[in-house]
Amino acid sequence: MSYHELAPTSLPATPTVAPISDAEHLAFVRERRSVNFAQTPAWGRVKTEWGSESLGWFAGGRLVGAGLVLHRPVPGLARFTLAYLPWGPDIDWSGWSGNIGAWLDPLAAHLKARGAFAIRLCPPVRTHTWDAAQVKDGVADPGVRRLTGLPGGHVEPVGIEVSRRLRAAGWVPQSPEDGFGAGQPQFTYEVPLAGRSEDDVLKAMNQQWRRNIKKAAKAGVEVTVGAASDLAAFHELYVHTAARDGFTPRPPAYFETMFAELSAEDPGRIVLYLARHEGDLVAATILVRVGTHAWYVYGASSTAKREVRGSNACQWAMIRDSLAAGCDVYDLRGITPTLDAADPQVGLIRFKVGTGGRAVRYVGEWDLPLRPLVYRAFDLYMRRRGR
């Protein structure tokens, strides 16, 4: 399932765009099977360094689309902002009858009047999928270097058409070759859950994953659901993981705000999982769920006791809970598209492909310059900073 299948399927009249309240936006989200958590009102309160607003598309007197817009000021030009819709907006990407302007022109007009120099959006629409067997074969084949070089992947016509029409309308693609840019990854990995049992999901995993799940259980690893008071323990392990794996950790306040805001919007939206072995915290993960879509958003693990496989135990607990909640998808989020065995990034896709499931390519991020001179200055500034 892709998000464009979840939005309204007809356009009764040319829509208009106007601000909506958090309550109106949240009510619209709850009518969907799912939207990305970055398109919920609460996410605007999590991203404290950005301004935010909720917008609605109205047609025939009813709300037919919604989007969370994050506003990023330009350094030295505070009156102008980059208007960013991460994994949004939630509109009818599949049924616009060839008229992309009917949806996006009123958005551009509203945001330009608000002082935006450009719009960046990330349509939640797929272009290609590859199953686990295809990805595994690609990693083993020295002649295949990238997911896009795999034969036999499934093409999603709506995503191909969305990309074509965005380009024709003057939108500029932002997704880099490696799939990771300044914003959202273009390539992700997900495990379908709809209509499947725990046994179905477990059998689709590779032998190593099944062995590690059993090893964790045999070693006595216990996975529990944590509370906000456990965030300090999570963060300590997360900082340890960052030092080991070479990334910059977010501060404790970020996670405290995320838990407070997402939990206030929906008590079951965000869950902390803690894996302990003989009292030692060996792994911890954070799951976010909106409707029928669940995301693995953060993880941490200890260097000691890696042999007890606490991370696999956490993953299996999250998958089981997602199944029990009636989710259609368990989303492991971003991957790079590399299949080159010599590339250090290939380990990420090898880990995720072990769950079974499929690799997914999305349309990616696109910019529409509204004030070209300011946009060029901003682009130059970001390039100098390494984005």
> In terms of pLDDT, which residue wins out, 256 or 343?
256
Contacts 24+ apart (CB under 8 A), 98-101: 98/165, 100/162, 100/165, 100/166, 100/169, 101/169
Helix (H) or strand (E) run with residue 105 in it:
helix 101-113
* Cis peptide upstream of residue 151 (ω within 30 degrees of 0): no
pLDDT in tens, 112-143: 999 999 999 999 999 999 999 999 999 889 99
Q: Is residue 29 part of a domain?
A: yes
**Cα gap 266→29, rounded to integer Å:** 11
Tell me the CATH number at 68. Answer: 3.40.630.30
Q: Is residue 24 part of a domain?
A: yes
**Cα gap 302→287, rounded to integer Å:** 19
Q: Is residue 52 part of a domain?
A: yes
Q: Is residue 326 part of a domain?
A: no
Mean pLDDT for 219-237 is 98
Structure tokens at 60: 């025939």
Q: Is residue 274 part of a domain?
A: no
Of 69-83, 175-189, 282-296, the range with the highest mean pLDDT is 282-296
Q: Is residue 86 part of a domain?
A: yes
Strand order in the sheet with 62-74: 16-19, 51-59, 62-74, 77-85, 116-121, 366-369, 172-173
Q: What is the mean pLDDT of the chain?
A: 92
In the chain, the number of structural domains is: 1
Q: What is the largest CA-CA distance in the chain?
A: 62
pLDDT, position 13 = 66
Q: How far is CA 65 from CA 68, 107, 227, 366, in A?
A: 11, 11, 34, 19
Q: Does the pLDDT value for residue 178 go beyond 70?
A: no
pLDDT in tens, 313-369: 999 999 999 999 999 999 999 998 989 888 888 888 999 999 999 999 999 999 999
pLDDT, position 182 = 61
pLDDT, position 180 = 62
Q: Is residue 27 part of a domain?
A: yes
Residue 85: give the domain boundaries.
Answer: 16-122+365-386
**Cα gap 42→320, rounded to integer Å:** 26
pLDDT in tens, 147-165: 999 988 899 999 999 999 9
Q: Are 115 and 77 in contact (CB under 8 A)?
A: no
Q: Is residue 101 part of a domain?
A: yes
